[in-house]
């Protein structure tokens, strides 16, 4: 099939050359055409002998081999390249693999990414860089990755996400950043990811979120923020997530929760996980979870696993067991304090009035004595 196509193309070239030079093609010229026509089919003969190669599926698997110093450039027609677990200490030169669709580089020792690393990889859709030593992403990291759909950067040493490092990832659907050391999201860092559907940020060091951190992610369906150190959630932090199906906030440092933060979730149906947080059980928190049950588009899946961390008398108690008694007790306490204050104030007024009258009588008596 390929041979016929190439012959047809080069017969057209021959006819043009004959018209230009007025010379008939020689037998050696036909042999040259035959070599060109079979080039694509035989390109996998260049595959490194120590790798598993499949010419039918354009597949090259060199995983779990020590290629730190013996890596040979793979065939240009490769579509799937697995270099995971190869003890690589730098990103290999893989330029101009224009057909490459999947590149697996996980479980290596790569410390950084060069600005021109993805040159010529216009077809790349899956890039796996998990479990390396990457501590920083440059502003030009995504240059050349316009077709990328999945980017896996889990278990590296990233501490922040620069504003422009994802600038060219407009088609990205899945971003895995779990298991890093990210303490905050730079303003507008995620804004180019308008097609993102799954974002994994669990097991980082996030302490706070801003209202505009996820403002451009209107197609996001899955957001995992568990295992961080988040202490507070602004009221509008999730208000742009119109497609959100799953939100995980387990194992953070949440003590309080504002009801508008959950009420502002616009998605028609969202599964919510909130357990393993140090909840401070007071009347306000009880009211928030009481109202949450009336928001039908939200489904709290781990409500039975929510426990109080404070105050000390309620530590370890399930939040659901407190029912409305917590607010009743708090209301009684407030009423007692209010009544005590009122009685004290009235007592002070009565005492002051009695003192005033006593002073007045003493003054009148002194005047009478003088007269």
Contact (CB, 8 A) for 285 and 314: no
Residues in contact with 240: Cβ distance below 8 Å, sequence separation at least 6, in sequence order: 214, 215, 216, 217, 218, 266
All residue ranges of the chain with pLDDT < 50 are 1-44
What is the end-to-end Cα distance of the chain in Å, rounded?
Answer: 138
The predicted pLDDT at position 348 comes to: 78
- Omega of the bond leading into 311 within 30 degrees of 0 (cis): yes
The predicted pLDDT at position 246 comes to: 98
Q: What is the pTM of this model?
A: 0.77
For the chain, the farthest-separated pair of C-alpha atoms sits apart, in whole angstroms, at 153
The predicted pLDDT at position 7 comes to: 37
Strand pairing report for 52-54 and 59-61: antiparallel
Contacts 24+ apart (CB under 8 A), 62-65: 62/86, 63/104
329's tokens: 């007790």
The predicted pLDDT at position 38 comes to: 38
The predicted pLDDT at position 343 comes to: 77
Q: What are phi and psi of 14, to 5 degrees?
A: -60, -45
The predicted pLDDT at position 2 comes to: 37
């Amino acid at each position: 099939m390929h041979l016929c196509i190439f012959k047809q193309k080069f017969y057209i070239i021959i006819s043009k050359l004959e018209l230009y030079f007025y010379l008939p093609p020689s037998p050696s010229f036909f042999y040259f055409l035959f070599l060109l026509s079979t080039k694509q089919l035989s390109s996998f003969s260049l595959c490194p002998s120590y790798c598993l190669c499949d010419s039918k599926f354009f597949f090259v698997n060199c995983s779990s081999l020590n290629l730190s110093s013996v890596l040979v450039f793979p065939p240009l027609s490769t579509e799937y390249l697995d270099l995971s677990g190869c003890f690589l200490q730098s990103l290999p030169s893989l330029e101009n693999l224009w057909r490459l669709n999947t590149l697996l580089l996980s479980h290596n020792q790569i410390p950084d990414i060069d600005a021109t690393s993805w040159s010529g990889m216009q077809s790349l859709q899956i890039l796996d860089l998990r479990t390396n030593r990457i501590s920083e992403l440059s502003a030009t990291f995504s240059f050349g990755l316009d077709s990328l759909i999945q980017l896996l950067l889990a278990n590296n040493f990233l501490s922040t996400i620069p504003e422009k490092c994802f600038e060219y990832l407009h088609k990205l659907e899945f971003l895995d950043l779990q298991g890093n050391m990210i303490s905050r999201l730079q303003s507008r860092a995620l804004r180019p990811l308008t097609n993102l559907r799954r974002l994994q940020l669990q097991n980082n060091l996030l302490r706070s979120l801003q209202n505009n951190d996820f403002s451009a992610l209107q197609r996001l369906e899955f957001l995992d923020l568990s295992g961080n150190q988040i202490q507070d959630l602004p009221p509008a932090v999730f208000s742009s997530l119109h497609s959100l199906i799953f939100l995980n906030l387990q194992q953070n440092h949440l003590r309080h929760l504002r009801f508008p933060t959950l009420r502002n979730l616009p998605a028609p149906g969202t599964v919510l996980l909130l357990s393993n947080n140090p909840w401070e059980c007071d009347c306000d928190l009880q009211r928030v979870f009481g109202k949450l049950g009336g928001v039908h588009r939200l489904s709290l899946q781990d409500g039975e696993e929510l426990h109080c961390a404070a105050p000390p008398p309620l530590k370890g108690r399930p939040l659901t067991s407190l029912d409305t008694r917590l607010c009743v007790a708090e209301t009684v306490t407030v009423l007692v304090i209010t009544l005590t204050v009122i009685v004290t104030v009235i007592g002070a007024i009565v005492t002051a009035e009695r003192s005033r009258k006593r002073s007045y009588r003493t003054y009148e008596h002194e005047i009478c004595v003088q007269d």
